[in-house]
Chains A and B, each alone.
Chain A
Amino acid sequence: MPETLAQLSDVHVHFPVLDGMLFPREVARVRAVDGVSLGIRKGEVLGLVGESGSGKSTTGRALLRLQDVTAGSVHFAGQDITRAPRRELQAIRRRMTVVFQDPEASCNPRMRIGDAVAEPLRVHERLTAAALDRKVAALLDQVGLDESYALRWPHELSGGQRQRVGIARALATDPELIVLDEPISALDVSIQAQVLNLLDDLRKQRGLAYLFIAHDLGAVAHLCDRVAVMYLGRVVEVGPVADVIGAPHHPYTQALLRSVPLHDPQAARARGLQVLEGEIPSPLHPPSGCAFHPRCGQAIASCRQNRPALQAFGRRQVACPVTCPAATQAAQLPIAS
C-alpha cells in the first residue's frame, strides 16, 4: 500500500462567537470541525462530501494550514506541520496547493490572468521571462483556455473561466497534493467533464493526490478512490467510493443519495424533490448523542444519548450503531440502499 502523504489526526477547529461592541467576549463556539481523522495516500483521490456548513472547507484549510487547529495534529510527508512556522510552510505550499471554492479568491482583481498563473512560479522557481510565458501558456492550455486569456483581467472572465484559472495556478508548482474545494461546481457539465478528465490524467501521469471536496456525487463517484461523508463537523462514513455510494450505510449518507436530482424530467416530476425533513442542526448547539438523530428515520433511544464513534465495518468505517452494529459482520447485515 502506498505511503500516507497527508494525515489529519483528531483535528478540531472551533471558532469563537463574539458579542458585545466595545468589549467583545466569547458567548459561544462553532465546532466547525469536531474530531476529524483522515489520511490521504500518495496518488490517492479522497472525496469529501456532506452537508453545507458541515466543515469540509475548514477541514481542507486545516490540512493546508491556512487555518490553525484548536486541537489534533496535521502531518504532511511524514512531517508534523501542526505548528510549523511560516518559513517551513512556504516549502510545503509548493508541494500542497489549493483550488478555492470561491473563484474570486484565486483571482486578484488587479492582476492579469497570466500574472496570476505565473505568481506561484515567481515565488517558487527562477525562470527566464520567455520560459515563464511558455509555462503560463501551457498551463492555461491544460485547463482549456487559449493563450489570449493571459492578457485579460479577472472581471472579463465568466465564473467557470475564473475557476479554470484557479486550477492552472494550483498546477503551476508541480504539487504532490491538491486540495480541490468544489473545483467544478461553477462549471457547466461539458467543461466539468473536461476538468474531471484533466484531473484524472494529471493524477495518472504525475501520481498526484487530491482532497476533492464536492457536492456532485456523480463526479465524486467518477474521480475518487475513497470518500468521506461529513455531518456537523464529524466524519460519519468513510470507505471505498464504490461501497459508500453504491450501498450507503450511514442514514445521512443514505439521505444524501436520495436527494440527488434525477436526470429524467418525467421521473423527476413523478418523484418530486426529496427533502430531508427536520431542522438543520446548528454547530452552535449540536444535538446530543448522534448529531443526525433528530432527522433520522432509523434512530433508536440510545442515539439521543451516545455519540457514536467511527467503527470499522468491512472495508469502510461508519458511525452508526443502528445500521452497522459493531459485533455484526458486513456480509450478514441487510442494508437498505
Chain B
Amino acid sequence: MTPALEVASLAVTFAGERGPVVAVEDVSLRVAKGRTLCVVGESGSGKSVSILATMGLLDPERATVQAAALRLADVDLLALPPARRRAINGDRLAMVFQDPMTSLNPYLRIGTQLTEVLEVHRKSSRKDAEQQAIAMLEAVGISAPHARMRAYPHELSGGMRQRVVLAMALLCQPDVLLADEPTTALDVTIQAQVLKLIQDLQARTEMAVVLVTHDMGVVAHMADDVAVLYGGVVVERAAVAELFARPRHPYTRALLASIPAAEHRGQRLQAIAGTPPSALTRPPGCVFAPRCAFAAAICLTGRPPQEALSPDQTVRCFRHAELADA
C-alpha cells in the first residue's frame, strides 16, 4: 500500500556565517493511513527541521533541502509548483508547530484566525466557519469557547494556545497531521484529552499522524512505529513494542534509561554524559560515538550504514549485533 506520507533520505543544510550547518543529514519517515509514527530524539537532532522541510516551509534562500522522495499518498511534493504546494498545506497536510506563537498572529482574535482557515481552504461561509471553529475549540478542551473566540493569543495560557493551534490544524480534517510536540505545554489530564481526540479523529477519518515528542509515555500510548533521531540521522526505527522491549541502538537505550520516575527519588538521573553534537561540528564517525558507552575503534571510522533487521526495523550501529548478544 502507498504510505500516506513518505519522506526518503531528507537532508537539510542551512547557510551559516561560519560555514554550512547540516541540520538534517539523512532522515526517512514513512507513515501509513490511520497510523501514527512518533519521532523522538535528542534536542537539536533535526526533528523540527525535518517536519518544516516536509511542509516546504523553510526559506529557500537560507536552507537547501534535498530528498530522494517526498510524497503525500500519490502526490509528488517535490514536483509541485510552490502555489499548489501551499494550497495543500493546511488542507490535506497540516502542521502544529512546537511554538504556538509561530502560527498565531498576536494582533488577531483567535476566532478570526480559526475561521480564516476554513474560509480559505473550504470556502465556508463566515457563519459556518464560526460554528465549526467553536465546536473544534470545545473538542480540544477549551472552556467557554464562545467567549474565547474573542480572545487575543496573549490572553490565553500556554497550554490553551497550544490547543488553539491544534484546533486550527484539525479544522480541515487533514490526511496527514504533522504535530511537533503538540502536548508538551499541557498538563497530563488535558494531554490525555488531546491525544484521545487525535486517536478518535484517526479512527474516523484515517488521518495519518507524525508526532514529534520527547515524552516516552506519549510514545507508548500513541505510536505504531517510532523513529529515533540523533545528530540529524535516524539511528533506529522500530515498531513501538519492539523498541521499548529491545532497543538496539545505544542512544535509544540511554534515552529509555534516563526517564525520571518517582521510585528513583533522590538518586541521580542517568543523563547521557557529554554534549550533543552541534550541527556545525559533527564527528566524522558515528554521530553518537563521542557520548556512547560502547564506542570502539570502528565507530570512529565513518557513519555506520543503515541495516534492516526486519521490514519494520532499521538500526545504524556498527556494534548492534554484538551488543544485542551481550
Mark out the residues of chain A between 210 and 256 whose CB falls within 8 Å of any chain B CB in the assembled complex: 215-219, 221-222, 241-242, 245-246, 255-256
- Option from B150, B199, B272 in Cβ contact (under 8 Å) with A19: B150
- In the complex, how many angstroms separate the beta carbon of A277 from the nearest chain B beta carbon? 10
Is the CB–CB distance between A262 and B185 below 8 Å? no
Q: Which residue of B lies closest to A145 (CB)?
A: B275
B187 and A276: CB pair below 8 A? no
Question: How long is the Cα–Cα vector from A305 to B155 in the complex, in angstroms?
Answer: 30
A144 within 8 A of partner (CB): yes
Residues 172-205 of A contacting B (Cβ, < 8 Å): 182, 185-194, 196-197, 200
- For chain A, the count of residues having a C-beta within 8 Å of the partner chain is 77
Q: A159-B43, A222-B260 are in contact. Are A52 and B220 (CB under 8 A)?
A: no
Q: Which residues of A contact B220 (CB under 8 A)?
A: 261-265, 267-268
Contact A156 B14 (CB under 8 A): yes
Let me know if B278 and A276 touch, CB within 8 A.
no
B residues in contact with A262, CB < 8 Å: 217, 220-221
Would A188 and B43 be within 8 Å (CB), given that A259-B192, A273-B221 are in contact? Answer: yes
Q: Does A84 sit within 8 A of B, measured CB to CB?
A: no
Closest to B273 in A: A194
Interchain CB contact under 8 A, B144 and A190? no
State which of A160, A192, A245, A264 has its C-beta within 8 Å of the C-beta of B244.
A264
> Smallest distance from the beta carbon of A231 to chain B beta carbons, Å?
10
B54 in contact (CB, < 8 A): no
Contact of A53 among B40, B159, B244, B276 (CB under 8 A): B159
A52 touches B158 (CB 8 A): yes
**A275 CB within 8 Å of chain B:** yes
Does any Cβ of B come within 8 Å of A104's Cβ?
yes
Q: Which residues of B contact A281 (CB under 8 A)?
A: 143
Whether A189 pairs with B258 at a CB distance below 8 angstroms is yes
Taking the complex as formed, is A279 at the interface, i.e. its CB lies under 8 A from any CB of chain B? Answer: yes
CB pair B196 A275 closer than 8 Å: yes
Q: Are B43 and A161 in contact (CB under 8 A)?
A: yes
Contact B42 A188 (CB under 8 A): yes
When distances are taken between beta carbons in the complex, the residues of chain A under 8 Å from B163 are 52
Least Cβ–Cβ distance between A7 and chain B, in angstroms: 24
Residues of A within 8 A of B196 (CB): 273, 275
Q: How far is the CB of A20 from chain B (nearest CB, A)?
A: 11
Taking CB atoms, residues of chain A closer than 8 Å to B21 are 156
Q: Does A298 contact B (CB under 8 A)?
A: no
Kindly name the residue among A52, A149, A222 whose own CB sees the greatest number of chain B CB atoms within 10 A: A52
Residue A302 lies at the interface, judged by CB distance under 8 Å to chain B: no
Contact B221 A186 (CB under 8 A): no
**CB atoms of B241 and A265 under 8 A apart:** yes
Is the CB–CB distance between A102 and B99 below 8 Å? Answer: yes
**Contact between B144 and A218 (Cβ–Cβ < 8 Å)?**
no
Q: Which of A137-168 contact B (CB under 8 A)?
A: 144-146, 148-149, 151, 156-161
B258 touches A190 (CB 8 A): yes
Any A CB within 8 A of the CB of B312: no
| Contacts known (A189-B258, A193-B260); A159 close to B188, Cβ less than 8 A | no
CB distance B214 to A282 under 8 Å? no
Which residue of the partner chain, among B142, B160, B262, B270, contacts A245 with CB atoms under 8 Å? Answer: B262
Contact B258 A102 (CB under 8 A): no
Cα distance, A187 to B40, chains bound together (Å): 11
A266 to B223 alpha-carbon distance, docked (Å): 11
- Any chain B CB within 8 A of the CB of A86? no
| Contact status of A215 and B188, CB under 8 A, knowing A102-B99, A262-B220, A285-B144 | yes
- The answer for the CA separation of A187 and B134 in the assembled complex, in Å, is 32
Give residues in A with beta carbon < 8 Å to B: 15, 17, 19, 28, 49-54, 57, 101-104, 144-146, 148-149, 151, 156-161, 182, 185-194, 196-197, 200, 215-219, 221-222, 241-242, 245-246, 255-256, 259-269, 272-276, 279-285
A-B contact sample (18 more), CB < 8 A, given A261-B217, A264-B220: A52-B163, A53-B143, A57-B157, A151-B18, A159-B43, A187-B214, A188-B41, A188-B255, A190-B255, A193-B269, A193-B271, A196-B269, A218-B259, A222-B260, A259-B192, A261-B215, A261-B221, A268-B217
The 4 A-B pairs of least Cβ separation, nearest first, read A160-B43, A52-B159, A261-B217, A193-B269
Chain B interfacial positions (CB closer than 8 Å to A):
14, 16-18, 21, 40-45, 48, 98-99, 101, 141-144, 147, 150, 155-160, 163, 181, 184-193, 195-196, 199, 214-221, 223, 240-241, 244, 254-255, 258-262, 264-265, 268-272, 275-276, 278, 280-281
